[in-house]
Amino acid sequence: MSSLPNQQQRVLSGMRPTGALHLGHYHGVLKNWLKLQHEYECFFFVADWHALTTHYEEPQNLEQSVWEMVIDWLAVGVNPGSATLFIQSRVQEHAELHLLLSMITPLGWLERVPSYKDQQEKLKERDLATYGFLGYPLLQSADILAYRAGLVPVGEDQVAHVELTREVARRFNFLYGREPGFEAKVDTAIKKMGKKNAKLYNELRRKYQEQGDDEALLTGHALVENQKNITLGDKERLYGSLEGGGRIILPEPDALLTPASKMPGLDGQKMSKSYDNTISLREDPDQVADKLRKMPTDPARVRRTDPGDPEKCPVWKLHQVYCNDDVRDWVQEGCRTAGIGCLECKAPLIEAVQGELAPIQERARQFEEDIDLVRKIINDGTNRAREVARQTLTEVRQVMGLEYR
């Protein structure tokens, strides 16, 4: 559980700018964002520095990839009125926090992150024995902690990074949340809540600390959160004291596991650029039809008269994403009896994919034609994000002894 349940309302996620997004991104990640943006305060950013941790040799593609990705976000319906959209490298606070966190992060924690060795193995053609690559999960921690985000939507492969973030935050709070006169300051802060609330706070704290009552902890957090007349510093003390520690300056986030994308690619494997089996969101409709027509089917269907088995056909996996029960029944029956041919079978699918992409592409065209609007959206988002991150960094500098006057 997050150490700041009240802040779980804030969601933060980043995406590397890999260029044009495809249906795998849409069904796997973006549809989830579309839902989250209505439920939480969301920050979504272009992780351009992250891209450089692996692709530092190809800076020439970066700019185009960034704008392509932002346009795709907007085209699928990520709404800059609901979510704050920004570019990582424009909020220098990420870099500063990364540096400051690096002071307290044991090397072993980074070396043990599973993606470190995995990715080095997988991307053998790149030299990833770099400082930046080792530190990239910590950069991600800085991304998250700069906004004191409570929830981080990630795929399975990124859960370890959120876990690292929690450990780093805990260590940070342990090192810098203890201050001289903490107990006395807590007592003063409690009094500021007024008699009734003070009594409630003390009861909840006792219930949590003596009986491990998680409900009491949640209620206590809500109580502190709703106080109007106390400073952020005092709130941090009250959260910390509730849990039996010092001030909580950087709350521990929770991973919000995005269900693994069921989106199959053109070859039946997971859709991914590295398998070259994608349909991009801005793929031309004829090209979409062509790619789907060329998709391999059950090899048993050599001739039109040979019956097949949808379970052995990658096309069937797409029907399961796109088609209703009637069409699916029709596929099952027609395939097994050789009642339909494969091209016939693919027709409703082609129509469904084209139909899904048409409105996305229409919106993408509008944004492409008004790139100034796209820049404005990003500028506004970046300013909003920077303001939040700036506040965190002011406190971080303070507790690390860096606020000289």
Total chain residues near ligand SF4 (CB under 6 A): 14
Which two tokens mark 352? 């469904």
Q: Which does 94 bind (CB under 5 to 8 A by kind): ligand SF4, ligand TRP, none?
A: none
Site for ligand SF4 in 302-321 (CB under 6 A): 308, 310, 313, 315-316
- In terms of CB distance, is 17 or 310 closer to ligand TRP? 17
Q: For every residue of the chain, which 3-state class applies, written as one string?
A: CCCCHHHHHEEEEEECCCCCCEHHHHHHHHHHHHHHHHHCEEEEEECHHHHHHHHCCCHHHHHHHHHHHHHHHHHHCCCCCCEEEEEHHHCCHHHHHHHHHHCCCCHHHHHCCHHHHHHHHHCCCCCCCCHHHHHHHHHHHHHHHCCCCCEEEECHHHHHHHHHHHHHHHHHHHHHCCCCCHHHHHHHHHHHCCHHHHHHHHHHHHHHHHHCCHHHHHHHHHHHHCCCCCCHHHHHHHHHHHHCCCCCCCCCCEEEECCCCCCECCCCCECCHHHCCCCECCCCHHHHHHHHHCCCCCCCCCCCCCCCCHHHCHHHHHHHHHCCHHHHHHHHHHHHCCCCCHHHHHHHHHHHHHHHHHHHHHHHHHHHHCHHHHHHHHHHHHHHHHHHHHHHHHHHHHHCCCCCC
Near ligand SF4 by CB under 6 A: residue from 11, 70, 335, 377: 335
Site string for ligand SF4, 344-363 (x = CB under 6 A): -xx-----------------
Site for ligand TRP in 40-69 (CB under 6 A): 47, 50
- Report the distance separating Cα 265 and Cα 74, nearest Å: 23
Does 36 engage in binding with ligand TRP (CB under 6 A)?
no
Minimum Å gap between C-beta 218 and ligand TRP is: 24
- Report the distance separating Cα 65 and Cα 90, nearest Å: 16
Q: Which does 342 bind (CB under 5 to 8 A by kind): ligand TRP, ligand SF4, none?
A: ligand SF4
Near ligand TRP by CB under 6 A: residue from 4, 6, 11, 16: 16
Does 152 engage in binding with ligand TRP (CB under 6 A)?
yes
Minimum Å gap between C-beta 158 and ligand TRP is: 6
Edge-to-edge strands, sheet with 83-87? 83-87, 41-46, 10-15, 151-154, 254-257
Minimum Å gap between C-beta 12 and ligand TRP is: 6
- In terms of CB distance, is 142 or 352 closer to ligand TRP? 142
Minimum Å gap between C-beta 154 and ligand TRP is: 5
Q: Which does 5 bind (CB under 5 to 8 A by kind): ligand TRP, ligand SF4, none?
A: none
Does 12 engage in binding with ligand TRP (CB under 6 A)?
yes
CB-CB contact of 237 with 183 (8 Å)? no
Q: Which stretch binds ligand TRP (CB under 6 A): 10-18, 362-370, 371-379, 388-396?
A: 10-18
- In terms of CB distance, is 39 or 306 closer to ligand TRP? 39
Q: Which does 257 bind (CB under 5 to 8 A by kind): ligand SF4, ligand TRP, none?
A: none
For 134-150, b/e burial (b = at least 16 CB within 10 A) is: bbbbbbbbbbbbbbbbb
Q: Which stretch binds ligand TRP (CB under 6 A): 30-38, 64-72, 138-146, 362-370?
A: 138-146
Q: Which stretch binds ligand SF4 (CB under 6 A): 47-55, 68-76, 136-144, 297-305?
A: 297-305
Does 298 engage in binding with ligand SF4 (CB under 6 A)?
yes
- In terms of CB distance, is 148 or 346 closer to ligand SF4? 346
Total chain residues near ligand TRP (CB under 6 A): 12
Site for ligand TRP in 216-255 (CB under 6 A): none
Q: Which does 143 bind (CB under 5 to 8 A by kind): ligand TRP, ligand SF4, none?
A: ligand TRP
Does 264 engage in binding with ligand SF4 (CB under 6 A)?
no
Report the greatest alpha carbon distance in the chain: 85
Q: What is the contact surface with ligand TRP in residues (CB under 6 A)?
A: 12-14, 16, 47, 50, 140, 143-144, 152, 154, 158
Q: What is the contact surface with ligand SF4 in residues (CB under 6 A)?
A: 297-298, 301, 308, 310, 313, 315-316, 331, 335, 340, 342, 345-346
